[in-house]
Structure 1
Amino acid sequence: MEAMKRAAMLGVCVGGIWGAYVTQGVLQETLSTKRFGPDKQRFQHLAFLNFAQSVVCFLWSFIMLVLVSPKRTSQAPLWAYWSASITNSIGPACGIQALKYISYPAQVLAKSSKMIPVMLMGTILYGVRYTIPEYLCTFLVAGGVSIFALFKGSVKASKVASPNAPLGYGLCLLNLAFDGFTNATQDSITMRYPKTSAWHIMMGMNFWGSIYMGLYMFGWTSGGFEALSFCKQHPEATWDIFFFCLCGAVGQNFIFLTISWFGTLALTTITTTRKFVSILVSSLWRGNPLTLEQWIGVSMVFAGLSYQILLKWRRQTKKRPLRKKAV
């Protein structure tokens, strides 16, 4: 009975993460490629999506803390998140901006190659030695991304605002680098404040993210005001942005539930398969077909990622203490 209950909980988490982020991917691609209104204008201020999502996720986490999360002591203070929130604001913004220059499947695939800069930095800076299977995973991922980038798909040029593959992939690389710092800092916070709940982490990160992106969009540039003016002229874009933010909040909600119930390895498995589903949806539903060579590249990437997950599962199984047999 307990096993069935956990299986049902896992199914809910998988469905929640897949549903939220696949839908968000469709909306993200829509906002970056669609022309709105009779004047056929594009929504140019994609960084506004990060600001809007931070605000919605902050409100979501605050409501969840008030309604369902028990009061705890020794939580990490809000100021502890200021540095991680900087890179957490810049990184996703780079990923979204990349959609001006490369297609959505290319962006997803490039962001899937997170292990490559991690292993390079580990080897160069810290002298970390990796196993042959780990190098094989990296070879598959790097080779798959390279094949995908070299062979152009049959996407019409009009679908991408300003085609520029080197700039697009460069922005994705920056996204990965900033994500690495964000993850390391979040791990440091949870180690210093072990009683901090996932809802508090979500609230702290999005609190500072809302401030940073708000200052950038409405202070450093006029992009925020221009985005609001665009939404006023094109209400359809307003609804797309709202549902994009809502999907982000729901997705984060199920991510934190998955971590607390099943651990980070299960989350990695779910999110990796979700990226493949996103590419499939974009190709079949959004009219973004890939060539045979590009599908080979996609298959290589996810073969490498799947093998990496299998290696992690094996390591985790070996670390579990064996139960003594009853005499």
Structure 2
Amino acid sequence: MEGRGPGLGRVLVLVFCIAGIWSAYITQGVLQETLSTKRFGPDGKRFEHLAFLNLAQSAVCFFWSLIMIRLWSGSRGGGAPWWTYWSAGITNTIGPAMGIEALKYISYPAQVLAKSSKMIPVMLMGTLVYGIKYTIPEYVCTFLVAGGVSAFALMKPSSKTISKLAHPNAPLGYGLCFLNLALDGFTNATQDNISARYLKTSAWDIMLGMNLWGSIYNILYMFVLSRNIGFEAIAFCREHPEAAWDILMYCLCGAVGQNFIFLTISRFGSLANTTITTTRKFVSIVVSSLVSGNPLSIKQWGCVFMVFSGLSYQIYLKWKKLKMKKKKKAL
């Protein structure tokens, strides 16, 4: 569908997409923070095996995408073969697991800010490897984001925030986040390559292939290669049903959120989706600070605004480029 319907209908669909993405991912963020900081049961145990969330998310999203393909795509063929996703599946397994594990060492707002600086490694690799020349406004965006994240990282978090962390270690936490970003870059590039080679590949096909391999790799790591991490995580969930419920809700929020992202991209394009998800990250930090008990100082809020000013400026530049392209095509 092209999404060229009446103006009011189009606006309502956009509002629906925004509400869906925000509610799904903000709720998922709260659950992720809860699972990483909360002490469960009378014995006050922490859920230490946060990487298990990655396996649970992969499994739920795999079955979700399988159902969606059966319901909406029918028996349409021509998509990329399942084995083409094996390499992207590796980075898509390790990368998010690192991002989740980072919550043992840094707060949720710090993790969100660090993962919002995706443009930094992209521009760095573009300049050093491919010799791409960027404009001054693009460098300004990068400076704002890099400066905001760096300043936030150098500030000492409140004692209340530190007390909630399992193993406070800022360098390790930020390092895991940036490795997550680097691996995400390979994942995204591989997905784009698959879509270009197999033109009939849908978003559901990609979701299915990625989560199939993600489930396989996570099962191998959790139950075969590691020291019984998977069994220990399941045992914890049996002892603390509240944690199991949070994990299930976390996974369902991720699956529902991906639905709304696919709908947004198909109806309004990737730039609109970037705008919605960027503002969602800012709201997630606000919610974390107000609801989850991660108070930020005035200086830290200054860093947050600095980062999101850079991201907002980047989005504005992309909108401007898109408008110019449309004008050229119209001439």
TM-score, normalised by the number of residues in structure 2: 0.96
Matched, 1:193 2:217: no
Residue in structure 1 matched with residue 277 of structure 2 by the alignment: 271
Residue 68 of structure 1 deviates from its aligned partner by 2.1
Give the Cα separation in 2 of the matches to 1:264 and 1:238: 34
Specify the SS of the correspondent of 1:68. Answer: helix
The one-letter amino acid paired with 1:86 is I
Cα 1:323/1:144, change in 2 over 3 Å: closer
Alpha-carbon distance, 1:71 to partner: 3.3
Aligned partners of 1:155 and 1:288 also within 8 Å: no
SS at match of 1:320: helix
Q: Partner of 1:235 in structure 2?
A: 241
Counterparts of 2:322 and 2:35, CA distance in 1: 41
Letter of the structure 2 residue corresponding to residue 194 of structure 1: L
* 2:103 aligned residue (79, 99, 102): 99
Deviation at 1:70, TM superposition (A): 3.9
Partner SS, residue 294 of structure 2: coil
In structure 2, distance between residues paired with 1:109 and 1:248: 19
Task: Give the drift of 1:72.
Answer: 2.1
Q: How does 1:3-18 map to 2 (within 5 A)?
A: 3-18=7-22
Unpaired runs of at least 5, structure 2 = none
Structure 1 gaps of 5+ residues are none
For 1:267 and 1:208, the matched residues in 2 are separated by 26
Q: Give the structure 1 partner of residue 302 of structure 2.
A: 296
Q: Deviations over 1:206-264 (max 9, x none)?
A: 01100001111111111100000000111110000000000010011111111111111
SS state of the match for residue 212, structure 1? helix
Change (3 A) 1:116 1:324: closer
- Residue 25 of structure 1 corresponds to 29
Q: Distance in 2 between matches of 1:322 and 1:294?
A: 43
Q: State the partner residue of 2:319.
A: 313
One-letter amino acid matched to 1:216: Y
User: Residue 126 of structure 1 aligns to a residue in which SS?
Assistant: coil
Letter in 2 for 1:199: W
Tell me the matched-pair count.
Answer: 325
Once residues 219 and 18 of structure 2 are traced to their aligned partners in structure 1, the CA distance between those partners, rounded to angstroms, is 32
Q: Which amino acid aligns with 2:254?
A: G
Go from structure 1 to structure 2 and tell me whether the alpha carbon gap of 1:282 and 1:319 turns closer, same or farther (over 3 Å shift). Answer: same
Deviations along 1:123-145, whole A, 9 cap, x unmatched? 11111111000000000001101
CA distance 1:323–1:171, shift in 2 (3 Å)? closer
Q: Distance in 2 between matches of 1:261 and 1:189?
A: 22
- Distance in structure 1 (CA, Å) of the matches to 2:223 and 2:18: 37
Instruction: Supply the RMSD in Å over aligned alpha carbons.
Output: 1.3
C-alpha distance in 2, partners of 1:13/1:34?
31
Q: In the alignment, which residue of structure 1 is the partner of 2:53?
A: 49
For 2:255, the equivalent position in structure 1 comes to 249
Distance in 1 (CA, whole Å) between partners of 2:80 and 2:206 is 8
Q: Which amino acid aligns with 2:19?
A: G
Q: CA deviation at 1:73?
A: 2.5
Letter in 1 for 2:101: Q
Aligned partners of 1:323 and 1:134: how far apart in 2?
Answer: 24
Aligned mates of 2:41, 2:320 — CA distance in 1: 53
Aligned pair partner of 2:146 in 130, 142, 148 = 142
Alpha-carbon separation, structure 2, partners of 1:206 and 1:73: 19
Show the counterpart of 1:168.
173
TM-score of the two chains, using structure 1 as the length reference: 0.97
Candidates 213, 235, 256, aligned match of 2:218 = 213
Deviates more, 1:249-258 or 1:130-139: 249-258
Q: 1:112 to 1:155 in 2, by over 3 A?
A: farther
Is the Cα–Cα contact under 8 Å of residues 152 and 291 in structure 1 kept in the other structure?
A: no
Cα shift readout 1:75-94 (whole Å, capped 9, x = no counterpart): 11101111111101111000
- One-letter code aligned to 1:12: F
In structure 1, what is the Cα distance between the partners aligned to 2:330 and 2:154?
55
Question: In structure 1, what residue type is equivalent to 2:195?
Answer: T
What is aligned with 1:35?
Answer: 39
Which among 122, 126, 132 is matched to residue 126 of structure 2?
Answer: 122
Separation in 2 of the partners of 1:284 and 1:19? 16
